[in-house]
């Protein structure tokens, strides 16, 4: 049996897994920091080599990457926090190095594909996936196919404008969902309110994280509860537009911020309901937590690797 090697690259670490075709249990899995001695690409090659099987052939390598990219040409246009990867032909370079076909995909798109094939989206042919974390990303499954667009750039749900002239997004535009409801955006709002004199259990912390906000909400901190409900309302606003566009039967939420539970998701649902043009969009609509956790990128890459090449 042949092996498919999948890689999930993040700003902090890159992980690789080797899967035997026909199995969703990896025969090996390894990780390494993304940045360190040598270039990130060389570190990636060392990681892939470390997981290369001795006695079985490798069918292909599939890589989940952050940032915009073209899955057809194998070029990543930009990679947040990875120097030197602007307009980098990572697919071609990996093929040269290892002599096997390479496929690449945006990490959030592939997480959507993984949840659809192996996780909480199984059985659904029309699915939206949103990951709420350091950024906000997503993916769309429409009629059983991952929606990529003309250049593979579709699915950037975090860059829907929900508040014109709102806070600056990391992409350089204002009022995007990511600038209002990601983990750092929630923290920034809490810090601004504390600086303005709003009382909070978080006031004495030196550095606040999104997890701190979620935990404080669980302890009854009114500012934290409000910050999460505010973010949830913005997410629900954007989700209503996505539901109008794609009419899914499942919406799957991933990412650390989504684990804030009803402090966030209750308000997502309320805002979604309020903004829908017709309640028929909710008929048979499932809203669920992602099931694949940290392995979403690796499993999504496997799902891509199992698709026909043409």
DSSP string, 222-285: HHHHHHHHHHHHHHHHHHHHHHHHH--SEEEEESGGGGGTHHHHHHHHHHHHHH-S-GGGGTT-
Contact 268, 235 (CB under 8 A): yes
Task: Classify 94 as helix, strand or coil.
Answer: helix
Query: Which residues touch 4 (CB under 8 Å, ≥6 apart)?
Result: 18, 19, 21, 58, 59, 60, 61, 62, 302, 305, 306
Give dist(CA 179, CA 200) in Å, integer: 22
124-290 CATH, one of 3.40.50.720, 3.40.1180.10, 3.30.420.40, 3.30.1300.10 = 3.30.420.40
Q: DSSP state, 72? A: T
pLDDT in tens, the chain (310 residues): 799 999 999 888 999 999 998 899 999 999 999 988 889 999 999 999 999 998 889 999 999 999 899 999 999 999 877 888 999 999 999 999 999 999 999 999 999 999 999 999 999 999 999 999 999 999 999 999 999 999 999 999 999 999 999 999 988 999 999 999 999 999 999 999 999 999 999 998 889 999 999 999 999 999 999 999 999 999 999 999 999 999 999 999 999 999 999 999 999 999 999 999 999 999 999 999 999 998 999 999 999 999 887 6
Specify the residue for token string 């659904």. 124
Contact 110, 94 (CB under 8 A): no
Contact 162, 173 (CB under 8 A): no
Q: Which two tokens stand for residue 301?
A: 């890459």
Task: Classify 188 as helix, strand or coil.
Answer: helix
Q: Which CATH class is domain 3-111+295-306?
A: alpha beta
Domain ranges of the chain: 3-111+295-306, 124-290
């Amino acid at each position: 049996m042949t092996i498919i090697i999948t890689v999930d690259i993040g700003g902090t670490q890159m992980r690789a897994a080797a899967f035997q075709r026909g199995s969703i249990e990896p025969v090996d899995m390894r990780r390494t920091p993304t940045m360190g001695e040598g270039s990130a690409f060389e570190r990636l090659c060392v990681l892939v080599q470390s997981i290369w099987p001795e006695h079985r052939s490798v069918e292909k390598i599939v890589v989940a990457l952050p940032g915009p990219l073209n899955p057809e040409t194998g070029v990543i246009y930009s990679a947040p926090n990875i120097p030197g990867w602007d307009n980098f032909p990572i697919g071609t370079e990996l093929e040269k190095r290892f002599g096997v076909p390479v496929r690449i995909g945006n990490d959030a798109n592939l997480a959507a594909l993984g949840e659809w094939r192996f996780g909480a989206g199984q059985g659904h042919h029309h699915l939206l996936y949103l990951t709420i974390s350091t950024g906000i990303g997503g993916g769309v499954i429409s009629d059983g196919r991952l929606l990529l667009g003309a250049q593979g750039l579709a699915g950037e749900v975090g860059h829907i404008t929900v508040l014109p002239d709102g806070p600056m997004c990391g992409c350089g535009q204002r009022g995007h969902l990511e600038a209002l409801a990601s983990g750092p955006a929630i923290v920034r709002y809490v810090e601004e309110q504390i600086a303005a004199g709003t009382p909070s259990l978080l006031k004495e912390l030196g550095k606040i994280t999104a997890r701190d906000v979620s935990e404080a909400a669980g302890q009854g901190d009114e500012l934290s509860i409000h910050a999460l409900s505010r973010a949830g309302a913005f997410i629900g606003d954007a989700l209503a537009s996505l539901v109008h566009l794609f009419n899914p039967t499942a919406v799957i939420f991933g990412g650390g911020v989504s684990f804030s539970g009803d402090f966030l998701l209750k308000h997502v649902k309320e805002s979604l309901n309020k903004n829908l043009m017709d309640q028929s969009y909710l008929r048979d609509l499932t809203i669920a937590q992602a099931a694949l956790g940290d392995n979403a990128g690796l499993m999504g890459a496997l799902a891509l690797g199992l698709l026909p090449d043409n």
